[in-house]
Structure 1
C-alpha cells in the first residue's frame, strides 16, 4: 500500500535535511533518473513522494474538497514475492489498488509537507512551489472544516491501518510549516494557542503518529517571524531532550538512545529520530557529546547491537539480506535489496508467525530475525529509511 501519513514524515525528513544542509546531495550526486535537472537530488527524491500526496487530495468541486485520502492498497494482502503494481493488471476486484476515504491526519500531513516543499522549491521550480502552496492552504482549510475525520479499519485488510484519533500534533505541525512559508497571522495565532508550542518533550518520540516535534524543529532552524526569545526557547528544549537521550544511551548496553520501552515495531526508526534530536543539539551548541551520540546511534544500527548484525542492507560483514518486501522477493528472478535499506529492527511484541516462533522467548533487544516472513521485525518502510539519510 501507499500511505499519506507515512509520506508526510518521510518527505519532511528529507526536506528538513536540505534546509539544515543545503549543500548535501547536490544534483548528480545520486544515481537517480532526475540527475542533471538542476535540482538537488534529495529534493528530487522528496518530490517523488510529494507528487503522490498531491494526487491524493480531493479535487475542487468534489465532496470533501481539499481533504487527502488516507491511503490506497489492495483489498486483500498481496503475496510475497510479487511484482510492483505497474508490472501487472492492477485494475480488477481481486487484484487492484483502491483509494480509501480521506482523514484529517492525512490532510494535515499534506498541509505541512506541501507548505515545506513550497518554500524550498520556490527558487528552483516555481510552478511546483505554487502548486504545493495552494495544496497546503486548501488542505489546512479542509482540515479545519473536518477536524475529526479519524481513520478506522476501512476495509481492514490488504494494507496497514495507520489510524490516528488525536490530531493536535498534526494541526500544530501544519500551522508551523504554513507560518514559516507564508508569514500569515492565522497560522501564528494557532501556534501561540497550542499547548504544544511550549512543551517540546511532550511531542516525543517522533513517529508517523506523533509529528508535533517536526513543527518546532522547523521553527528552530528555518528563518521565520517568531521573536528571538521564542526560537531560543525551542532550541533550548531540543537540547534538553537531547540530554535525555544521552542519559539513556549511557546506561544502555549498546549505547543506543532508546530505552527498553523503545523496542516496538520499527524500533530502528526510533533510534534514528532520536539521533536527529542529538544532531540538532550539536548544531545548536557545537558540543562534541551530541555528535558522539549520533555516532553511537549509527554504530548500533550497523552492528553494535544485541544480534551482532547490521540492520542496513549492504553495509557490514553481516548485514540484513532478506527484508519483508514484495519485490525484493528472496527469489532468483527477483532483485536483491539494494545497499541502504533499513530493517525495522527488534520488536518486543513480534506479531508475525516467523518471529514468534524463532525469537519471542529471547530478551527484547534480540527479538529480530532476518527473514522475509518477519514483517514485524524485518519490514522496510520509507519513514524508517528517510532519517537514515
Structure 2
C-alpha cells in the first residue's frame, strides 16, 4: 500500500504543502453507508464540488488501496446540482475503508465484504415485529423499544357502512393481531395486500436462504422460518376481516379519526370495521391463495391453515365476482353514515389489476383453468411498477416463477417473460448517464409520496428480470437502487432508520415519537423525497423544492418522512434477494 499522507501532500502542491494527518468528513460525498460486495459495483457521488481524482484509503487515511479519476460532471434536468461519480468497482479487497477527495474531504467509513446487507435485511423484516398490534413487545425481543401491548381489538364494532343482516351496525367482532399500517395505529387490508404478497414472494423465491435467517422473534425456534412467523401475525388478522356469511372483506379496521402521537396503550378510541369493497376482497383472495401454497409444506406445524386460507381465498373470489365494482369512496361514505371516517382511505376505482393478481395466485395454487379464463392477461403492453393501488405485476411475478402451470396457461409465459424483461430494460435505459448513477431518479415523477418504495420496487423488478436471464446488468441496476436508499442520493440520507451514518431520527411514526427512546424504531424505511410534500403536509421544515431533495427529517413531515409496511416490504425483498443471490447459505447461521 502507498502512504496516503505523503501522497496527499504531493497531490495538493508537491513538496510545498504540509498535508494534515487526515481529511475531515464531507457531506458532499454520497455513497452506500453500509458498504459493498467484493465482486459488486462500487460507486460514490461528489455533489457540487470540483475535483478530478479520488482515493480509497484505510480508515486512518494512512494507506491508499485504490485511486481513480472522477467522472465529468452530470446534471439532472430537474436539479441544479452537478454530480461527479467515483467508480471503484475494481477494488475487491475486504475490510473497512474511506473515500478521500483531497480538495473536498472524506466519506464516512464503509465496509467491503460478504453478507454486507445481512443485518439490514434482518432489520427490514424485524421492523414488522415492532409494528405488531395486540401484544406486548418484551425487552428480550424488542430491546430498547420494548412496550406494553395496545389495541387488543377484541371489541371492534361493525360500522354502519359495513352492516349486513347477519352483522348489523354495532355488532362486536374480535379482530386481533395484524401490523400497524404506517405511522398510525390502524390496519388496512388493501395495503396489507401488496405487503403480504411481496413478503410471501420473498420466501417463495428464496426458501432455502430464509430457512436460515433468524429474527429473534417470540416464535423463533419453532419449525417455521422466522420470515413466515412474522407474516403469520398479519395473516391471522386478515382472516378475521372476512365476513364468514358471504366471503366479502372489510376495507379496514380503524378509529374514526387518527389518534394523537401517543403510545398504543394510550390510544383507546373505539375501532370499527368499515365497508366491504372489491379491492380489499380481491387483495385478500390473492394473499390467501399465495399463503395456502407457501404454508402447505408446514401442515404438521400449522394443521389446517393452508386449507383455511384457500377456502377463504375462493370465498373472497366468489364475492368479488358477484360484486365486481364496489368502490371504497370515503367522502361518499361519510355523507351517508356516522361516525365520519377520516383515516387513510386507500381508495381505488380500477380493480382490473387486483382481479388479475387474485386470478394468478388461485390459478397457481389450485391448477384450475377457470381462473386463467377469468381475466384479460394483457390489458396493456407494459407492466406498471407495483404500488398498493396497482398490483398487476405481482400476478405476473407469480406466474413467471412457476416451474409448471396448467397447459392453457403456458401459452402466456413467453410474452410475460418478454414484458418483465422489457420493464427492466426501460428502468435501465440511460442509467449510465444519470447524475447519481442509479436507476432511481431518471424522472422527477419518481419523487412521489413513498418515493423510497419506488426505488425499492424498481429494484425488485430488476431482480425479477435477473432471475429470468442471469444478466448482470439487471443485478447491478438493483444494487444501484439499494445504494440510493442507503445514501447515494441528493439528500445524503440512508433512508433506513438505524442503518447508516446519517439516518432519519424523527420519522412520522407514533411508536417512535411516543416511546421515550431517543433513537427511532430501527429498520424502518422513510418515505423519502416527495416533490409535493410541502403542499401535502404543510410542514415548514423543508429547505429545498428540488424534487430529489424535498425531504425533511421531522415528524411533522408525514409526506416525506412517514413509514409504511408497503414500503418496508420491497426493501426487505431487495436486500434479502441480493443476500440470497450473493451469499452462500452456509454463511447465514440461524
Contact 2:214–2:226 under 8 Å retained in 1? yes
SS of the aligned residue for 1:98 comes to: strand
Q: Deviations over 1:213-272 (max 9, x none)?
A: 111110000232255452232112101110110115334322133421121110111111
Spell out the pairing of 1:323-342 with structure 2 (5 A cutoff): 323-329=507-513, 333-334=516-517, 336-342=519-525
Unaligned segments of structure 2, at least 5 residues? 1-185, 335-339, 573-590
Spell out the pairing of 1:183-262 with structure 2 (5 A cutoff): 183-191=367-375, 193-196=376-379, 199=380, 201=382, 203-223=383-403, 224-226=405-407, 228-247=410-429, 249-254=431-436, 255-258=438-441, 259-262=443-446
- Judged with a 3 Å threshold, the aligned counterparts in structure 2 of structure 1 residues 376 and 26 are, in CA distance, closer, same or farther, namely same
Which of residues 94, 101, 119 in structure 1 aligns to 2:293? 119
Which of residues 63, 69, 91 in structure 1 aligns to 2:250? 69
Residue in 1 that maps onto 2:319:
142
Q: Deviations over 1:187-206 (max 9, x none)?
A: 01114x4433xx462x4121
| 148-157 or 282-291, which deviates more | 148-157
Contact 2:531–2:545 under 8 Å retained in 1? no
Residue in 2 that maps onto 1:37:
222
1:377 matched to 2:560? The reply is yes
- Judged with a 3 Å threshold, the aligned counterparts in structure 2 of structure 1 residues 158 and 32 are, in CA distance, closer, same or farther, namely farther
Deviation at 1:372, TM superposition (A): 1.0
Q: Deviations over 1:330-357 (max 9, x none)?
A: 66x2574332110011111111122xx2
| Separation in 2, partners of 1:200, 1:248 | 21
| 214-223 or 149-158, which deviates more | 149-158
Deviation at 1:129, TM superposition (A): 0.4
Q: Deviations over 1:63-121 (max 9, x none)?
A: xx2111001211122111x112xx2473xxxx222211111000000000100000111
| Separation in 2, partners of 1:43, 1:302 | 26
| Separation in 1, partners of 2:204, 2:230 | 14
| 333-342 or 363-372, which deviates more | 333-342
Unaligned segments of structure 1, at least 5 residues? none
SS of the aligned residue for 1:328 comes to: helix
Residue in 1 that maps onto 2:66:
none
Q: Deviations over 1:3-32 (max 9, x none)?
A: 101101000101101111112222661111
Contact 1:275–1:294 under 8 Å retained in 2? yes
| 232-241 or 372-381, which deviates more | 232-241
1:366 matched to 2:543? The reply is no
Between structure 1 and structure 2, the one with the greater Rg is 2
| Separation in 2, partners of 1:89, 1:240 | 47
Q: Deviations over 1:13-65 (max 9, x none)?
A: 011011111122226611111111111111112222211211111122xxxx2
| Separation in 2, partners of 1:249, 1:178 | 37
Q: Cα RMSD over matched residues?
A: 1.8
Spell out the pairing of 1:276-295 with structure 2 (5 A cutoff): 276-295=460-479
| 338-347 or 154-163, which deviates more | 154-163
| Separation in 2, partners of 1:299, 1:375 | 24
SS of the aligned residue for 1:122 comes to: helix
| 105-114 or 251-260, which deviates more | 251-260
| Separation in 1, partners of 2:202, 2:422 | 21
| 105-114 or 38-47, which deviates more | 38-47
Residue in 1 that maps onto 2:147:
none
Contact 2:440–2:484 under 8 Å retained in 1? no
SS of the aligned residue for 1:101 comes to: strand
User: Which of the pair is proportionally richer in helix?
Assistant: 1
Contact 2:263–2:514 under 8 Å retained in 1? no
1:49 matched to 2:49? The reply is no
Residue in 2 that maps onto 1:163:
347
Deviation at 1:315, TM superposition (A): 1.2
SS of the aligned residue for 1:316 comes to: coil
| Separation in 2, partners of 1:249, 1:140 | 41
| Separation in 2, partners of 1:45, 1:253 | 38
SS of the aligned residue for 1:190 comes to: coil
| Separation in 1, partners of 2:255, 2:221 | 36
- The count of aligned residue pairs is 371
Contact 2:552–2:560 under 8 Å retained in 1? yes
- Judged with a 3 Å threshold, the aligned counterparts in structure 2 of structure 1 residues 298 and 213 are, in CA distance, closer, same or farther, namely same
| Separation in 2, partners of 1:37, 1:376 | 39
Deviation at 1:157, TM superposition (A): 4.4
| Separation in 2, partners of 1:238, 1:335 | 43
Contact 1:10–1:382 under 8 Å retained in 2? yes
| Separation in 1, partners of 2:215, 2:520 | 17
User: Which of the pair is proportionally richer in strand?
Assistant: 2
- Judged with a 3 Å threshold, the aligned counterparts in structure 2 of structure 1 residues 174 and 67 are, in CA distance, closer, same or farther, namely same
Deviation at 1:127, TM superposition (A): 1.0
Residue in 2 that maps onto 1:298:
482
Residue in 2 that maps onto 1:9:
194
Contact 2:417–2:468 under 8 Å retained in 1? yes
Contact 1:78–1:158 under 8 Å retained in 2? no
Greater relative CO (CA pairs within 8 A, separation 6+): 2
Spell out the pairing of 1:307-346 with structure 2 (5 A cutoff): 307-329=491-513, 333-334=516-517, 336-346=519-529
Contact 2:259–2:267 under 8 Å retained in 1? no
Contact 1:27–1:38 under 8 Å retained in 2? no
Tell me the TM-score normalized by structure 1.
0.91
Contact 2:440–2:446 under 8 Å retained in 1? no
